[in-house]
Amino acid sequence: MTTGNGVAVRAERVSRHYEMGAALIRAVDDVTLEIRAGEFVALLGSSGSGKSTLLNLMAGLDRPTGGAIFANGRNLSELSSFELARYRSRTVGMVFQSFNLLPRMTLEENVELPLRLAEVDRGERAPRVQEALERVRLEKRLSHRPSELSGGEQQRAALARALVNRPTLLFADEPTGNLDSATGESIMLLLKEIQQKLGMTIVMVTHERPLAERFANRIAALADGKLLTDGVKS
């Protein structure tokens, strides 16, 4: 689903400022960015550049203090808390650096969780969990708990959980940050494969320029909360 003219998400002069005592932290400051449907965009920047904050704003996890973010043809900052939760549930899939799987649940239960939250019928859940786990090649690890999996497997499981609700937007926050380079590469290949096969829009936050250059279609570089460059790779 797009906001029109093939645009999946559009940030329009978006700001996210925090007050810390007397100081005003400009985590994201007046950023305008348009992400087209089916693109693989990398938000590149060093620590504290505002890339994760911008990702959270586009994923509907946070609200901007200024500007607007349009997705699904609606301004996210105008949505109610409940509507924003529905947007996260039905339109967005999220992958985190630290995987964020629930340790006491099995892989199957972890992947099923978004389906429960989206109130998908019980009968429909098992095939969709199976499908998502097959896509990340973890279908044989259904009953394992996260602690019984390697880092790469945990991130693949997190990816399956992000895909199970068939979102149109996938936001990945440093998905390889906790993995060795080989495992990280396998995850990136998987993301690329998913983008190409499903035509999914992927926005990935990373501080590794080589990774961004190798896998993303487009790189938006941020520093000190501002967008420095935004360009399609040559």
Partner 1 sequence: MKAGDLGELALRNLREAVLRNSLTTLGVAVGVASLVAMLSLGVGLQELASKRLSNSGLFDTVMVMPRRNMQTMRRPAATAVPVKEAPALDDDARKTMERLPNVVEVYPQIRFPTEVRYNGNPYSTIVAGVPDSARGNGAYDGIQGSFFSGPNADEAILQIEFAKDLSEQTAGLIGKELVVRYAERQALPPQGGTGDGSGNDMSGAGGGFSIVPREKKLRIVGIIETEPAAGFGGFGSGRLLIPLEVASTLRAAQVNDLRDAVRATNGKPAYASLTVRATSPSQVEPIETAIKNMGFGTFSLLDATRNLRLFFTIFDLLLAIFGSLALAVATLGIINTLVMAILERRREIGILKALGAADRDVKQLFFVEAGVMGLFGGVLGVGFGWFIGRALTWGTNIYLHRQNLPSAHVFSVPWWLVLSAIAFAVIVSLAAGLYPATRAARLNPVEALRYE
Binding pattern for the stretch 105-124 against partner 1, x by CB under 8 A and - elsewhere: x-------xx-xxxx--x--
Contact 142, 133 (CB under 8 A): yes
Instruction: Mark 139-178 with x for binding to partner 1 (rule: CB under 8 A) and - for no binding.
Output: ----------------------x---x-------------
**Whose Cβ is closer to partner 1: residue 104's or residue 137's?**
104
Distance in angstroms (rounded) separating the CA atoms of residues 198 and 14: 29
The answer to the question of residue 19 lying near partner 1 (CB under 8 A) is no
Member of 17, 26, 90, 214 binding partner 1 (CB under 8 A): 90
Per-residue contact flags (x/-) with partner 1 for residues 64 to 83, judged by CB under 8 A = -----------------xx-
Strand 40-44 and strand 201-206: the pairing is parallel
Q: Which is nearer to partner 1, 88 or 141 (CB)?
A: 88
DSSP state of 78: G
How many Å separate Cα 165 from the centre of its chain? 13
**Binding residues among 25-54 for partner 1 as defined by CB under 8 A:** none
- Under DSSP, the state recorded for 40 is E
Of the residues 2, 3, 15, 89, which one makes contact with partner 1 according to CB under 8 A: 89
Beta carbons of 73 and 4 less than 8 angstroms apart? yes
Indicate if the alpha-carbon torsion angle 57, 60, 63, 67 is positive or negative: positive
**210 phi, psi to nearest 5 deg:** -60, -40
Query: With respect to partner 1, which residue has the nearer C-beta, 35 or 59?
Result: 59
CA dihedral 149, 150, 155, 161 (to 10 degrees): -10
For partner 1, which is the closer residue by CB, 36 or 142?
Answer: 142
Question: Does 137 interact with partner 1 (rule: CB under 8 A)?
Answer: no
Separation CA 212–CA 217 (nearest Å) = 8
CB of 210 to partner 1, least distance (A): 27
Kindly state the number of chain residues that form the binding site for partner 1, as judged by CB under 8 A.
27
Residue 96 makes contact with partner 1 by CB under 8 A: yes
Should residue 206 be labelled a site residue for partner 1 when binding is judged by CB under 8 A? no
Minimum CB distance to partner 1, residue 229 (Å) = 26
- Nearest residue (CB) to partner 1, 171 versus 218: 171
* 187 phi and psi angles, rounded to 5 deg: -70, -40
The burial of 36, by beta-carbon neighbours within 10 Å (0-12 exposed, 13-18 middle, 19 or more buried), is given as: middle
Q: What is the largest CA-CA distance in the chain?
A: 54
Residues interacting with partner 1, by CB under 8 A? 56, 59, 61-62, 81-82, 85-86, 88-90, 92, 94, 96, 100, 102, 104-105, 113-114, 116-119, 122, 161, 165
